[in-house]
Amino acid sequence: MGPELRHDVFGHTGWADLTKVADVVAECEDSHALGLHPRRQEAEVLVTSWGMPRLTEDLLRELPALRTVVHAAGSIRKIISEAVWERGIVVVSAADANNEPVAEYVYAQTVLALKDVHRRAHRIKSGMDLPSLEGVPGIYGQPVGLVSFGSTARKVATRLRHLESEVMAWDPYVPTETLRRLDVTPVTDLRELFTRSLVLSVHAPLIPGQTEKLITGELLRCLPHGATLINTARGAVVDEDALADVLRERPDLYAVLDVTTREPLPPESPLYALPNVMLTGHVAGTVSAERRAMGRLVVEELRRIAAGSPPAHAVSAHASLLRA
């Protein structure tokens, strides 16, 4: 990683902590520099972050001692190739630190949605009047649906307990007993989840052929009057053309989109002009000093590895497919 990103992730203190626990044999900004570094063959652990090119079979040949990759970012999909798994290299992800701000963002947007802040703010600016409070649901005891129940969604569910929310989740990979143990109502039919949720938060990973355009126009039309859709997962999980159509038909609905299929959206996207859409440009994940939490997690994992203990945030090949 480059010096600016390294400073964002570790800061001076975090980097000093890292160098105490690890012998840094190479600092490279890209895979080309790594593949040519004179000490590359000594590297046993590779710390990566955003912008790291894919660890291909060719690059791995230049790293014969490599046994662990620690990724100081969110998804590992773009950098981890099948060759990594085949060689038995342990992959560690700092996603659990990266998704803390995402959970806070979803919680905050849920509060704003249940207070009808988004629509009220637009109406006030458009008509310079003060809308009635009639119909504002309020924050307590409202039904909130979660599409997929991975790490981020679990953190959202925990925060929603403060609001006494009726938290429901759809996830075909999570046992219903697990959901119930966490005070979350399992919903096995996605249509039912949409029908019952006043706030619907999308956390599904993008799995080609499975979750692309999972959120269809038919499902969106099932949302109750005044509902809000929040997407902080992957843009392509939502059929954006269908979403635009439904939002035109249903001005009572609102969409908060932190992610879109293309980022930024093309200028011709109808989502720009719709009054019931908020686009926040992928800000939910860690930014600036928030990234230090990932740096701390990386250092903690390096300490475990140095002590001969298994890392706490290792990711399997199968689990990597189920993460956003």
Query: Could you give the number of structural domains in the chain?
Result: 2
**Segments forming the whole domain that contains residue 274:** 100-279
Judgement on whether residues 178 and 90 belong to the same structural domain of the protein: no
Judgement on whether residues 243 and 304 belong to the same structural domain of the protein: no
Judgement on whether residues 239 and 204 belong to the same structural domain of the protein: yes
pLDDT in tens, 104-147: 999 999 999 999 999 999 889 888 788 889 989 999 999 999 99
What are the residues whose beta carbons fall under 8 Å from the beta carbon of 73, sequence distance 6 or more?
48, 49, 50, 93, 94, 95, 98, 294
User: Is the per-residue pLDDT at 39 higher than 70?
Assistant: yes
> In a 3-state reduction of DSSP, which class is residue 109?
helix
Judgement on whether residues 107 and 167 belong to the same structural domain of the protein: yes
Report the sign of the C-alpha dihedral through residues 19, 20, 25, 31, in that order: negative
Judgement on whether residues 13 and 134 belong to the same structural domain of the protein: no
pTM: 0.91
Q: Specify the pLDDT at position 34.
A: 87
Judgement on whether residues 215 and 121 belong to the same structural domain of the protein: yes
- The H-or-E segment that residue 175 falls in is none
CATH code for the domain of 161:
3.40.50.720
Q: Specify the pLDDT at position 321.
A: 64
- Which has more pLDDT, 78 or 179? 179
Reference 220, options 242, 204, 205, 237; nearest CA is 242
Distance CA 102, CA 82 (A): 28
Judgement on whether residues 153 and 226 belong to the same structural domain of the protein: yes
Judgement on whether residues 106 and 228 belong to the same structural domain of the protein: yes
